[in-house]
Structure 1
Amino acid sequence: MQVSSYISEARSVLYRDVYTAWLFTRSDLKTIVIPKSFFGILGGLSGSALTTHSNVSGWDIVRRTPLVVLWVWVVLLPFNIDNQRRADAIVEDKINRPWRPLPSKRISPDRAFRFMLFCHIAAVGYSLAVGGLRQSLAGIALGWLYNGLGGADRSCIAKNAVNSLGYVTFSMGAISWFGIIAATVFTTVQIQDLPDMEGDAVRGRRTVPLVMGSVYCRWSIAILVPFWTVAASLFWRTLSLPTVLCAVIGTTVAWRALNKTSMADDKLTFRIWNVWMVSLYSLPLASACR
């Protein structure tokens, strides 16, 4: 009976820890994990234009898809813990995301710090086993810049820059295409700051809508999302169904940025922006299939 009790207790603790880890990344499942997994998978399927190994079969890519998704999540988890464990972040999350582990008191800041260190070690170990070690280490460095040095708080330009670099650390290959993706994120990722303005203001963050005004922020999105849609299509020299879908989704984002301005609307627009980013990721494959 005692052994059974220990097993039951261990299972309960494991479940709680796994659920806590999921809560740390819940907001970014649809904005980072799923889009960046698509980026890697679609890039791999596009062939030698974006990969370092031209002899990888489509089956190899499909077979490794779970490893790709898990890698993105494992690398993201310690970054998110570090981002959420600081006192000002907890104050912000009490307003914007009270269900997160720290504002809901599911975990203490000290235990979150230890959990973060363990997850960093796990991410590096997993990267050694399946690949992506350089990107994992780059993510740690960017996390320190973003969280430890306050890169997310002191300058809206620095915040967007680190965000754009973070997006492309998950995979490397054709430098010019990754440059376009980085520039796209750098000039449009401020869309994520619109629904968080109240919490960011309490925390003292200098985001684009707070520094330059929400009107400027919305117009920058409305202009630059269509611009990068056209630029990406011209880069890959493709006019196909994915290109049309990309244009439709991008136009939707631009229209909503100007015409749907409530907090709930902005949250939905940010989700659609992430779908638009995935549609951009499909263009190399569309070009390869011509």
Structure 2
Amino acid sequence: MLSTIWDFLVTLQLFNQSDMKTIVLPVTVFALALASYHSVSRFFLVVFWVWMHLLYFTVTNQTFGTSPEEDAVNKPNRPIPAKRISIDSAITLGWFIAPIDLALSLYTGGAPAGIAICILTSIYCRGGGHSHWLSKNGCCAGFYALFEYGATQIADSSEKLNQNQIGAIIGSALIIFTTIHAQDFRDDEGDALLGRRTFTLSFPVFSRISMPMLLTAWSIALYLFSEANQSVLPALLVIGAVTGIRFLTLKSAKDDRLSYLYYNIWLSMAHVGLSSLNLQRLAAWYQ
């Protein structure tokens, strides 16, 4: 009995595993940095809320369309290609998760964001949002913004976020929209076999060149307009430059996986910078 329960929990975690460092970690860090109120109980609520809503997305995404075939090429350790669960059982699991997530959002105070995540999941998976790089990047930016909005509401026990919090979340969405193709380089071979129109396949040269340009530009912007600890911001500049140059010069799938790990470290640090964004300084610069 216990082994069966443990095996089921492992299967659930495998649905989320590749997104733990890209969603759960940066969103949690960002929400706690933005929140003006902190408690241990709220921390665990934030992590659980993010993890459960991510689970609804990953189960839906990994069962829809050609995703099982794609994962068999790019991510064979996921539950469906690894034969830990059938597609039909995973679809049923998704229908069970949806009302649980709704109840959890109502309980924690993250209902608007939770409902919007479910709607955007449908747009991404069933509405063709995943099929073109522009809509895919837009959906990814939307997911991050919604996860961060809901997580910050829960962490802060607040129904309404303040101006600085909203500004930081918008900044995060812009960073994601312009740089999230970092995750596509490692999957180019499988995506090409499946005929997907990712940004890295549509613009193979420019997408590489864009990485050092964009990561450095965003790092400089945060250095200028953030009041984060001065040890964080220089490190952000260095990691952004190193990561961008890696994407430009090291092009094997193995190198791209490691570069993507560096990108996620940079992204987490960028969120620390965003959490201390000085909107007054930014507004003064525009005037």
TM (norm. structure 2) is 0.87
Code of the residue aligned with 2:237 in structure 1: it is A
* Superposed counterparts of 1:25-40, under 5 Å: 25-40=16-31
Q: CA 1:209 to 1:118, structure 2 compared with 1: closer, same or farther past 3 Å?
A: same
Is 1:89 aligned with 2:79?
no
Please provide the CA RMSD for this pair. 1.8
Show the counterpart of 2:155: none
Q: Within 2, Cα distance between the matches of 1:192 and 1:35?
A: 15
Q: Which stretch of the first structure deviates more once superposed, 167-176 or 112-121?
A: 167-176
- SS of 2:147's equivalent? coil
**Paired residues of 1:142 and 1:166 also in contact (CA < 8 A):** yes
**Paired residues of 2:211 and 2:245 also in contact (CA < 8 A):** no
Code of the residue aligned with 2:216 in structure 1: it is P
Structure 1: unaligned runs, 5 residues or longer: 1-7, 48-55
Show the counterpart of 2:90: 112
Q: Within 1, Cα distance between the matches of 2:197 and 2:208?
A: 16
Please report how far the alpha carbon of residue 285 of structure 1 lies from its aligned counterpart in structure 2 after TM superposition. 5.4
**Paired residues of 2:168 and 2:277 also in contact (CA < 8 A):** no
Q: CA 1:112 to 1:230, structure 2 compared with 1: closer, same or farther past 3 Å?
A: same
Code of the residue aligned with 2:179 in structure 1: it is T
Code of the residue aligned with 1:93 in structure 2: it is D
Q: Deviations over 1:202-250 (max 9, x none)?
A: 222210011112x211111111111111222323256711111211111
Q: CA 1:119 to 1:259, structure 2 compared with 1: closer, same or farther past 3 Å?
A: same
Q: CA 1:95 to 1:259, structure 2 compared with 1: closer, same or farther past 3 Å?
A: same
Q: Within 2, Cα distance between the matches of 1:31 and 1:271?
A: 9
Q: Within 2, Cα distance between the matches of 1:104 and 1:287?
A: 43
Larger Rg: 1
Code of the residue aligned with 1:108 in structure 2: it is S
Q: Within 1, Cα distance between the matches of 2:138 and 2:117?
A: 13
Please report how far the alpha carbon of residue 195 of structure 1 lies from its aligned counterpart in structure 2 after TM superposition. 0.5
Task: Pick the aligned partner of 2:124 from 123, 126, 146.
Answer: 146
Please report how far the alpha carbon of residue 87 of structure 1 lies from its aligned counterpart in structure 2 after TM superposition. 4.4
- SS of 1:171's equivalent? helix
Q: CA 1:143 to 1:88, structure 2 compared with 1: closer, same or farther past 3 Å?
A: same
Is 1:224 aligned with 2:241?
no
Q: CA 1:287 to 1:156, structure 2 compared with 1: closer, same or farther past 3 Å?
A: closer
Is 1:15 aligned with 2:6?
yes
Q: Deviations over 1:56-90 (max 9, x none)?
A: 3x4x2x44211111111000001001111134111
Q: Within 2, Cα distance between the matches of 1:179 and 1:230?
A: 17
Task: Pick the aligned partner of 1:79 from 33, 57, 69.
Answer: 57
Please report how far the alpha carbon of residue 19 of structure 1 lies from its aligned counterpart in structure 2 after TM superposition. 1.2
Is 1:265 aligned with 2:255?
yes
Please report how far the alpha carbon of residue 287 of structure 1 lies from its aligned counterpart in structure 2 after TM superposition. 6.4
Task: Pick the aligned partner of 1:280 from 253, 270, 273.
Answer: 270
**Paired residues of 1:233 and 1:239 also in contact (CA < 8 A):** no
Is 1:196 aligned with 2:173?
no
Q: Within 1, Cα distance between the matches of 2:269 and 2:127?
A: 33
Show the counterpart of 2:281: none
Task: Pick the aligned partner of 2:80 from 77, 102, 108.
Answer: 102
Structure 1 stretches of 4+ moved >4 Å: 284-288
**Paired residues of 2:70 and 2:191 also in contact (CA < 8 A):** yes
Question: What is the percentage of aligned positions where both structures have the same residue?
Answer: 33
**Count of paired positions:** 264
Q: Within 2, Cα distance between the matches of 1:237 and 1:127?
A: 32
Code of the residue aligned with 2:19 in structure 1: it is D
Show the counterpart of 2:139: 162
